[in-house]
């Protein structure tokens, strides 16, 4: 299980040993023994939807079947919901284990009574790896290992969680949480970099601002980086952009500490 790993090497080893790897950030792709599972292998979209719902709730131990049906297919009555759940569950197992013998226990899906979850002892999931890597970075006392963990997390994040489900309510909270987690980690890394590599700090802050153009912490660090490089015009330009975006989006002025960065060089 990824969350049992205590170092970057353990996370990487877990991935290399996992037959099933799931990519949800900026895409949806599942590979089994390095071969991508075809969209047709899932059968109906409801099978993909159910699997993705379990991914969005990967932090939960088990989820009751009725709760799943209510969240995914709230407009259906329970009989239709149970029917679709059964079909979707069969579709998942068929896609993930096409050679599994009839009546044998699934490898990747776990059931406890009528509650379900993914067997994370056997699956590498990029969103879970992202969360755990950042958690390890925050708890790492060695500066070099901390930076290494942050960069690995940075490499995992390829975009928003399940972009094909951005209009599904059940995916929105997990998506937003992952994005904020990644943005904060990117800013943490940029803050470390500003002391010795201002150019890298600028790159990281630009990456953060591509995701959220109103992230003030990114503007502030970019301003610091430009000042450290002696590029006063770009520092002022960055501040003006920050000011314009915050006013346009929220009718707010930059924080005093952000504004002070510019007044100090005026």
Q: What is the pLDDT of residues 93-140, one digit of tens each?
A: 999 999 988 788 999 999 999 999 999 999 999 999 999 999 999 999
Q: Do 216 and 115 have their domain in common?
A: no
Query: What number of other Cβ atoms are within 10 A of residue 225's Cβ?
Result: 25
Residue 52: what pLDDT? 98
> Domain boundary residue among 109, 124, 139?
124
Q: Do 133 and 120 have their domain in common?
A: no
Nearest by Cα to 11 from 199, 153, 190, 212: 153
User: Domain span at residue 182?
Assistant: 127-263
Nearest by Cα to 29 from 122, 163, 177, 120: 163
Residue 161 confidence (pLDDT) above 90: yes
Q: Do 102 and 144 have their domain in common?
A: no
Residue 78: what pLDDT? 85
Read off the pLDDT of residues 18-76 as tens digits, 9 standing for 90 and up: 999 999 999 999 999 999 999 999 999 999 999 999 999 998 889 999 999 999 998 88
Q: Do 80 and 168 have their domain in common?
A: no
How many percent of the chain have pLDDT more than 90?
91
Structural contact between residues 133 and 15, judged by C-beta atoms closer than 8 angstroms: no
Q: Where does the pLDDT of residue 240 fall: very low under 50, low under 70, confident under 90, or very high at 90 and above?
A: very high
Q: Measured between alpha carbons, how far is 105 from 166 in angstroms, rounded to an integer?
A: 33
Q: Locate 23 and state its tokens.
A: 């990519």
Q: Where does the pLDDT of residue 77 fall: very low under 50, low under 70, confident under 90, or very high at 90 and above?
A: confident
Q: Do 71 and 94 have their domain in common?
A: yes
Report the domain count for the chain.
2
Q: Where does the pLDDT of residue 144 fall: very low under 50, low under 70, confident under 90, or very high at 90 and above?
A: very high
Q: Do 36 and 20 have their domain in common?
A: yes
Read off the pLDDT of residues 199-237 as tens digits, 9 standing for 90 and up: 999 999 999 999 999 999 999 999 999 999 999 999 999
Residue 265: what pLDDT? 78
Q: Do 197 and 174 have their domain in common?
A: yes
Q: Do 82 and 167 have their domain in common?
A: no
Average confidence (pLDDT) over 179-185: 97
Helix 45-56 to helix 78-96 angle (10° resolution) is: 90
Residue 104: what pLDDT? 87
- Cα torsion at 181, 182, 183, 189 (round to 10°)? 110
Residue 246 confidence (pLDDT) above 90: yes
Nearest by Cα to 219 from 187, 176, 251: 187
Residue 226: what pLDDT? 96
Q: Do 132 and 28 have their domain in common?
A: no
Structural contact between residues 202 and 223, judged by C-beta atoms closer than 8 angstroms: no
Residue 136: what pLDDT? 97
CATH of residue 63: 1.10.10.10
Q: Do 118 and 150 have their domain in common?
A: no
Q: Locate 43 and state its tokens.
A: 């059968």
CATH of residue 164: 1.25.40.10
Q: Do 118 and 155 have their domain in common?
A: no
> Domain boundary residue among 90, 124, 158?
124
> Domain boundary residue among 91, 124, 157?
124
Q: Do 98 and 181 have their domain in common?
A: no
């Amino acid at each position: 299980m990824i969350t049992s790993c205590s170092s970057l090497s353990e996370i990487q080893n877990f991935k290399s040993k996992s037959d099933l790897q799931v990519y949800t950030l900026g895409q949806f792709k599942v590979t089994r023994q390095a071969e991508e599972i075809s969209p047709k292998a899932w059968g109906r979209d409801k099978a993909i939807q159910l699997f993705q719902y379990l991914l969005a709730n990967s932090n939960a131990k088990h989820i009751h079947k009725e709760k799943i049906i209510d969240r995914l297919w709230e407009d259906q009555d329970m009989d239709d919901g149970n029917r679709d759940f059964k079909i979707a569950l069969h579709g998942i197992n068929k896609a993930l284990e096409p050679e599994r013998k009839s009546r044998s226990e699934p490898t990747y899906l776990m059931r406890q009574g009528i509650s379900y979850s993914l067997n994370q002892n056997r699956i590498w999931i990029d969103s879970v790896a992202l969360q755990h890597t950042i958690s390890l970075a925050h708890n790492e006392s060695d500066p070099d290992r901390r930076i290494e963990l942050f960069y690995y997390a940075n490499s995992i994040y390829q975009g928003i969680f399940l972009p094909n489900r951005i209009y599904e309510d059940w995916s929105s909270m997990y998506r937003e949480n992952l994005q904020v987690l990644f943005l904060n980690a990117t800013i943490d890394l940029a803050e470390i970099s500003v002391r010795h590599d201002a150019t890298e700090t600028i790159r990281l802050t630009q990456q953060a601002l591509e995701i959220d153009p109103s992230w003030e912490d990114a503007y502030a660090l970019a301003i610091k980086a430009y000042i450290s490089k002696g590029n006063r015009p770009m520092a002022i330009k960055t501040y003006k952009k920050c000011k314009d975006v915050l006013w346009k989006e929220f009718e707010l002025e930059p924080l005093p500490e952000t504004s002070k960065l510019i007044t100090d060089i005026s």
